[in-house]
């Protein structure tokens, strides 16, 4: 397969991020998947390939209509990767994983409320939990796109989480931050009903972060 240096670098960055998900403990086995906008489509991880064995030419280039080389098998979650990149001009990377604390809250169908000011990094005063639908379906993709409206992260009921960003580094940073928030919220719930920050304070923090450079992550 011949490809430009830019495309090869993007493919390698996707593999490096997959391996980082495992090192960070936010992924379980091969259940995570990653995509990055490329040319008129996207580069997306292949289905069921262990990250240690993943090679750049196994990353699938997919056109926005879902077409790809017939010998390649994209992630079973290619629909929401494609639909998010199609509907969100502000975003160039999508990270999906099943981090433990995000998934605990998602099993309970819970949104993450503003328990900590860092929730503003995900774009607003909550991280919504999208309703359940079977993995890989158009229905799950529709739920995910809706839950991400005005946001950069969401949970998926009985499934996991999605973090998105202008770059893969930003989406990865946010994925780790959302798992931290989920863990903090879970911990608070062990003690009682956590007091929440008001929405106008989260908006205030969001604007400060823009000045501070956190929104640039
Ligand atoms: P892959 O198809 O990308 O291996 O992942 C499965 C999965 O995460 C379903 O949510």
**Ligand 1 centroid distance, CA of 185 (Å):** 26
Q: So what's the pLDDT on residue 1?
A: 61
pLDDT the model gives residue 28:
76
Nearest CA to ligand 1 atom 8: 31
Contact (Cβ atoms closer than 8 angstroms) between residue 40 and residue 30 = no
- Cα-to-centroid distance, 11 and ligand 1 (Å): 18
CA distance linking residue 31 with residue 58, whole number of Å? 16
| Known catalytic membership, residue 7 | no
**Backbone phi, then psi, for 34, in 5-degree steps?**
-135, 145
What residue segments make up the domains of the chain, in order of their start?
5-212
Ligand 1: which atom is nearest the Cα of residue 76? 2
The CATH class for the domain spanning 5-212 reads alpha beta
Among 18, 21, 28, 33, which is best to mutate for testing ligand 1, by the most ligand atoms less than 8 A from CB?
Answer: 33
Mutate to test the pocket of ligand 1, among 96, 130, 162 (most ligand atoms within 8 A of CB): 96
Cα-to-centroid distance, 213 and ligand 1 (Å): 33
Supply the pLDDT for residue 212.
Answer: 67
Q: What pLDDT is recorded for position 211?
A: 73
Q: What is the pLDDT along the chain (217 residues), one digit of tens a residue?
A: 678 999 999 999 999 999 999 999 998 778 899 999 999 999 999 999 999 999 999 999 999 999 999 999 999 999 999 999 999 999 999 999 999 999 999 999 999 999 999 999 999 999 999 999 999 999 999 999 999 999 999 999 999 999 999 999 999 999 999 999 999 999 999 999 999 999 999 999 999 998 765 554 4
Q: Which of 77, 177, 201, 216 is catalytic?
A: 77
The DSSP secondary-structure symbol of 216 reads: G
pTM of the model: 0.96
- Which residues lie closer than 8 Å to 165 by C-beta, 6 or more apart? 91, 92, 93, 95, 152, 171, 172, 173, 174, 217
**Who contacts 68 (Cβ-Cβ below 8 Å, separation ≥6)?**
60, 61, 62, 74
| DSSP helix/strand/coil, 93 | strand
């Amino acid at each position: 397969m011949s490809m430009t240096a830019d495309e090869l670098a993007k493919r390698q960055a996707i593999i490096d991020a997959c391996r980082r998900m495992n090192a960070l403990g936010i992924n379980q086995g091969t259940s995570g998947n990653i995509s990055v906008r490329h040319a008129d489509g996207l580069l997306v991880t292949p289905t069921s390939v262990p990250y240690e064995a993943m090679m750049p030419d196994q990353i699938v280039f997919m056109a926005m209509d879902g077409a790809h080389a017939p010998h390649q098998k994209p992630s079973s979650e290619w629909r929401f990767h494609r639909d998010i990149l199609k509907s969100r001009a502000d975003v160039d990377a999508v990270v999906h994983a099943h981090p433990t604390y995000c998934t605990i809250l998602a099993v309970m169908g819970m949104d993450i409320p503003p328990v900590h000011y860092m929730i503003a990094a995900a774009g607003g005063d909550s991280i919504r939990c999208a309703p359940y639908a079977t993995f890989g379906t158009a229905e799950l993709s529709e739920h995910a796109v809706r839950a991400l409206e005005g946001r950069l992260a969401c949970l998926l009921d009985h499934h996991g989480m999605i973090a998105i960003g202008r770059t893969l580094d930003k989406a990865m940073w946010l994925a780790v931050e959302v798992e931290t928030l989920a863990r903090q919220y879970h911990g608070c719930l062990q003690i009682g009903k956590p007091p929440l920050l008001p929405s106008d304070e989260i908006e205030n923090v969001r604007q400060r972060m823009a000045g501070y450079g956190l929104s640039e992550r």
